[in-house]
Every structure is written in C-alpha cells, then in structure tokens.
Amino acid sequence: MHALPLILRKDQERRLLAGHCWIYSNEIDTQATPLKTLEPGQPVEILSRSERWIGHGYANPHSLICARIVSRERAHPLSPALWLARLHEALALRERLYTSPFYRLVFGESDGLPGLIVDRYGDRLAVQITTAGMERARAEILAALEQVLRPTEIVLRNDTSVRELEGLEQSVERVLGDPSGDWVLTEQGLEFAVDPMQGQKTGWFFDQAENRARLARYGVGERVLDVCSYVGAWSLRAAALGASDVTSVDASADALARLQANAERNGLSSRVHPLQGDAFEVLRELRDQGRRFDTVLLDPPAFIKRRKDEKDGTAAYQRLNRLGLELLEPGGLLVTSSCSFHMGRDGFQRVVQQAGQRAGRRLQLLETGQQGPDHPVHPAIQETAYLKTLFVRALPSH
C-alpha cells in the first residue's frame, strides 16, 4: 500500500530530528491529515508543517503513540528489503558480541524495528510483535527472519498487555516447526530449559546476563537469597560460584518446579532450595526467623508500569530493598534491580539508600549495571534504557 503523508503541527519535529521515533497524536496536524482516516499499521511518510521530509513509518490512529518512524532515508520505505537490511545489521552486532547464539536479536527501536522483539535460542526464535505497524508486516518480518537465520522453530509470544494499547489481540502461537517441548540455552557454562509457550516474557531474561556474570567478581558467600527467582538464572549462577545454600523465592509453583529441574540439569540441586510465596511475606517471615544471608539478589518485575504507578511502585521498591537489607550479614552483598523505565537510575539509587537508612545499614555502591549490549540503548530514546542493577555492600550503621 502506498504511504500517505502524515503532517505534524508547527514546531513538533525537533524531537524527531534529534533521533526519537515516536509521534504522539497531539503532535499531528489533524486538519491537514485526519488521523481517523488512517488504518491501524498503515505506512506513512512523516512531514513537518513546512513539508520537510522526516521519515518513513507507520501509523495507528487509536494509540497515544500514533506513529513510529522506521526509516529516515527517502529511498528506503517500509518493505521486505528494509526488514532484511535491519535484521542483518542486528545480527552483525550480536555475532560480534557473542560466541554462542543465545541473546536478544532485535530490541525494537534500538535496532530500527520499533514494535518488534526477537530472542534467539540457537536455531529457535521467540518473536514478540507489539504494534499495529509490525503486525501488518508480520508475514514479511517472519519471511525475513527465516531467510536470515534459517530457524527450525518460531514461536510468536504476542501475549503482552502492550498490544491492547494498539488494539491488538493477545495470543501465543507456534508459526514454524512442530511442538518439541522445552528450549535449552546456555549462559556462563550453565544450561537452562525454558518453555517458549508459557514462560514469562519470551521465556528468558537475556537482559540480566552481563550482570549475572559480574557476580563472580564479588563472591557470593555460603548463603544466598534469590527473590523473584523465576526459573533459576541468578540462583544457579550463585550456586555455581560456590554458594552451598541458595534459597530461591518465587510466587509461581511452575517457575520453581522448572528451577528445580534446571538445578538438577546442572548438578546443583543439593545447593538450591525453592520457597514459594509472595516476596514481601516470605522476606518478613525469614527476618522474623532470624535468617541471615551473605548475598541477597532482588530482581522483581516492574513495580512502575505507568506514570500513575510511580508513588506506589517507589514505596514497593523501598520496602523490598529494606527487607532484603535486613536479611544481610554485615558486609554482605545486595544485588538489586529495577526494570521500571519510570524509575530512573538516580531515583533507584535514592530508594536503595533510603531503604538502607530504614534498615540501619550503611551502604557502599560498588558498581551499577544496565541491560546487556544485546539490548542496546538508543541515545535519543531514553525509554530504551530501562534496566538498573546496583551492586551494594551493606555495613552496620555505626
């Protein structure tokens, strides 16, 4: 379909010319280009009020972010050739970074493919489409992935709530290959089996791999507490580094059963002890029992998904970190994360410091981590820098 012009209101192009690719509905000159006449996902050419050409993209009149720029070269509109070029660029970066094919292959806007996430598990791909524009190009995207990577299996993990904002249905479906059970990946010499059809996100959290590798530098001691453990990425890393008693806390019985199976797969089951329950309740119970740990790992889901969640989410982060710090031995290590974009790095540091004060601990920030380089940050799109991980030493307050 031919791309229609999408004309901005006066002086609304500055952010886009600086590199951002999101266009909000209140930035459109709706008299010059009535949004309601556009179909969800329709290709558009974005123009300034003075008709300066800005880029090729796609629109969705039903979404607050009503358009996204995909290409800034006039000769390269949305097409199978563009998808192929972007995938080759993305693959070149990952092959430069990784010796094993286990990583996020496409990270949306940062890889010039807004609305598309692709995680690679060897010759298997978990794909997530989050926008109407990418949904419209779904067949072309899948064909490009098959051409570039020759996968044996592709699973579409289109079960994220973000799709609702775009007017899209949620589903999980296998679009290539026969059902073959679990997918196995390796990280730092450990093997993990994940369920591509039912696990969280796309089955694995590749974004924390670099931070998990950093644990080796600090040593984890004998007793480790892993909160929101999911299927064991942090727990097994700690056990492999020598921890003899790893307590893995998660609300999901299925995730803990998978964690136990992964521990057995790596010969670490005697060191890892699953504990099902709500993170806050379990931490309080452990504190009241007088339990203490040499390392506490906190990797919760996002507590602040929207700006309106900020107050409650900030309080939840502070409560979780205070409880974690109260369970640490003097001199112990706290590794704490936030994947909430709305909780900035400075804000998160402040929350952890306040938690330390309430727990009666003096803190030393040893290192800060972010998502790994397979989740590159787009310098003009701060929303792509979402993960914060702090490595903190906790000392008595005196």
Of the candidate ranges 1-10, 95-104, 182-191, 335-344, the one whose mean pLDDT is the lowest: 1-10
- Domain residues for the domain of 223 are 205-396
Does residue 246 sit in the same domain as residue 365? yes
Does residue 10 sit in the same domain as residue 105? no
Beta bridge partners of 331: none
Does residue 39 sit in the same domain as residue 100? no
Quick check: is 67 in a domain?
Answer: yes
Compute CA distances 225 → 22, 302, 362, whole Å: 40, 20, 20
Which CATH number characterizes residue 9's domain? 2.30.130.10
Of the candidate ranges 6-10, 14-18, 52-56, 177-181, the one whose mean pLDDT is the lowest: 177-181
Quick check: is 90 in a domain?
Answer: yes
Does residue 229 sit in the same domain as residue 335? yes
**How far is the C-alpha of 140 from the C-alpha of 159, rounded, in Å?**
20
Q: Cα angle vertex 135, ends 301, 61, to 5°?
A: 90
**How far is the C-alpha of 297 from the C-alpha of 234, rounded, in Å?**
8
pLDDT on residue 199? 79
Does residue 255 sit in the same domain as residue 330? yes
Does residue 239 sit in the same domain as residue 372? yes
Which CATH number characterizes residue 99's domain? 3.30.750.80
Which CATH number characterizes residue 240's domain? 3.40.50.150
**How far is the C-alpha of 85 from the C-alpha of 32, rounded, in Å?**
33
The one-letter code for the residue type at 281 is: E
pLDDT in tens, 244-300: 999 999 999 999 999 999 999 999 999 999 999 999 999 999 999 999 999 999 999
Closest by CA to 299, choosing from 372, 395, 199, 390, is 390
pLDDT on residue 384? 95
Give me the residue label for tokens 């309430």: 358
Does residue 386 sit in the same domain as residue 243? yes
Q: Which residues contact 268 (CB under 8 A, 6 or more apart)?
A: 236, 239, 240
121, 148, 183 - which closes a domain:
183
Predicted confidence band at 36 (pLDDT cuts at 50, 70, 90)?
confident
Does residue 151 sit in the same domain as residue 224? no
Does residue 292 sit in the same domain as residue 324? yes
pLDDT on residue 2? 74
Q: What does the CA dihedral 128, 131, 137, 141 come to, rounded to 10 degrees?
A: -30
**Residues labelled as active-site residues:** 339
Does residue 167 sit in the same domain as residue 125? yes
DSSP structural state of residue 355: H
108: helix, strand or coil: helix
Does residue 92 sit in the same domain as residue 14? no
Quick check: is 45 in a domain?
Answer: yes
pLDDT on residue 41? 96
DSSP 325-354: HHTEEEEEEEEEEE--TTS-HHHHHHHHHH
Share of the chain above pLDDT 70, in %: 99
pLDDT in tens, 180-218: 789 999 999 999 999 999 878 888 999 999 999 999 999
Total domains present in the chain:
3
pLDDT on residue 202? 81
Given a cut of 60, whether residue 326 has pLDDT beyond it is yes
What sign for the dihedral angle of Cα 128, 132, 137, 138? Answer: positive
Does residue 124 sit in the same domain as residue 222? no
**How far is the C-alpha of 336 from the C-alpha of 345, rounded, in Å?**
12
pLDDT on residue 1? 54
Mean local confidence (pLDDT), 161-175: 94
pLDDT on residue 308? 87
Q: Which two tokens stand for residue 239?
A: 């056990």
Q: Which residues contact 315 (CB under 8 A, 6 or more apart)?
A: none
Quick check: is 101 in a domain?
Answer: yes
Mean local confidence (pLDDT), 37-46: 95
Give me the residue label for tokens 């390392």: 295
pLDDT on residue 29? 94
Closest by CA to 371, choosing from 355, 383, 356, is 383
Quick check: is 345 in a domain?
Answer: yes
Quick check: is 199 in a domain?
Answer: no
